[in-house]
Amino acid sequence: MFEKLKNLKTYEAGKPIELVVREYGIKPEEIIKLASNENPYGPSPKVIEAVKKNAKNMHRYPDDSFYELKEGLSQKFGVEPKNIVIGAGSDQVLEFAIHGIAPKKVLMAGITFAMYEIYSKQVGAEIIKTPSITHNLDEFYELYKKHKPEIIFLCVPNNPLGECLDAKAVYDFIEKIDNDTLIIIDGAYQEFASYKDKNKEIKPKDILKYKNVLYTGTFSKAYGLGGMRVGYGIANEYIIQNLHKLRPPFNITTLSLTAAINALKDQEWVEMGIKNNFIEMEKYISFAEERGIKYFDSFTNFIVLFIENSTEIAKALLKKGIIIRDMASYGFSAIRITIGKPEENDKLLKILREIS
């Protein structure tokens, strides 16, 4: 029983605030959580208002056609509702695709989003990774020719390292891949990347013409709705119809649906968060430069600093109520910090300057 899961580790999510409260006795309101790439500003106040107003309907299942949400996404991306599937986070859309195909082999970057590997192993797939830790499309192509994987994952920009392929390079790569390999473009941080550099912008409507490309996006990052679990997949109708076969009914909640619909209506709020993200990121870059610490140019809402003794540093920060991500498990000393609010970043950097 469970033979296929033998080598599968349970996904370790960023430490929840509750755990730090229990372990270190720090007041919840004093904890600074910069470990899971959440939006530090939260959702738009208009979203909170709409959810409150609709709370009385939580005994009702949501509209399972997700009509209004798909209309909103259609307008945002210039696609049609039939090109969209909604998931409980984009994680669930990834799950639909991977389980629906049940690949024998999948291909991904040396270090990339952990869920690709987890869902793939659940169906017994062999995981093939490029030697480079960041996305190197020449290596991808070599390994594609050698192994003919049924799925290729491109995380654009990449979590947890923050680097981002140019859109043109992604489009050129797609052209070289046969139709029987699905290419999944994970755009969880596309809002950040396309703000910073237009050359990184992947437009979902541009991939509809391909029979074998799925774009995924989420409300968890730029839109500040991580706790609501709403994501989406965009692709040609054939792919979407098949993903729907794996979708359980009512897979997001009534209030998650309200939140997502209203989040799309307040783009100003989202832009404020993205703008501040890159302003605040400069503080970490200054710190790295002044200390000669290597870092990746980041197109996301987090930054990776190749700092010595990352595990000790993460622990010392945790004792002071600051949660970040230690990357020692990848085999090098680095920390991943989600960019927070100005006062959060200032406090973290002050402590970092003291202890490192």
Positions in the binding site for ligand PLP (CB under 6 A) = 37, 89-91, 113, 155, 159, 186, 188, 218, 220-221, 226, 231
Taking the complex as a whole, how short is the minimal distance between the CB of residue 116 and ligand PLP, in angstroms?
A: 9
244, two tokens: 């729907």
Q: Name the residue whose CB lies closest to ligand PLP.
A: 89
What gap in Å lies between CA 98 and CA 96, rounded to an integer? 6
Taking the complex as a whole, how short is the minimal distance between the CB of residue 299 and ligand PLP, in angstroms?
A: 12
Question: Which residues are 326's β-sheet partners?
Answer: 335
Taking the complex as a whole, how short is the minimal distance between the CB of residue 117 and ligand PLP, in angstroms?
A: 12
- Closest CB to ligand PLP among residues 38, 287: 38
In degrees, to the nearest 5, what angle opens at C-alpha 246 toward C-alphas 243 and 252? 95
Q: Which amino acid is at 4?
A: K
Total residue length of the chain: 356
Q: Peptide bond preceding 160: is omega within 30 degrees of 0, i.e. cis?
A: yes
- Closest CB to ligand PLP among residues 212, 220: 220
- Closest CB to ligand PLP among residues 90, 298: 90
- Closest CB to ligand PLP among residues 274, 351: 274
- Closest CB to ligand PLP among residues 226, 273: 226
Please provide the DSSP assignment of 218-248 as one string: ESSSTTS-GGG--EEEE--HHHHHHHHTTPP
- Closest CB to ligand PLP among residues 88, 317: 88
Taking the complex as a whole, how short is the minimal distance between the CB of residue 90 and ligand PLP, in angstroms?
A: 4
CB distance 306 to 227 below 8 Å? no
Q: Burial, 55: exposed, middle or buried (Cβ in 10 Å; 0-12, 13-18, 19+)? A: exposed
Q: Which amino acid is at 314?
A: A
- Closest CB to ligand PLP among residues 50, 86: 86
Taking the complex as a whole, how short is the minimal distance between the CB of residue 15 and ligand PLP, in angstroms?
A: 16
CB distance 98 to 104 below 8 Å? no
Q: Peptide bond preceding 43: is omega within 30 degrees of 0, i.e. cis?
A: no
At 254, give phi and psi (nearest 5°): -55, -45
What gap in Å lies between CA 259 and CA 125, rounded to an integer? 35
Handedness of CA 278, 268, 225, 46 (dihedral sign): positive
DSSP letter (8 states) at residue 104 = S
3-state DSSP assignment of residue 32? strand
- Closest CB to ligand PLP among residues 93, 317: 93
- Closest CB to ligand PLP among residues 35, 317: 35
Largest alpha-carbon pair distance within the chain?
A: 56
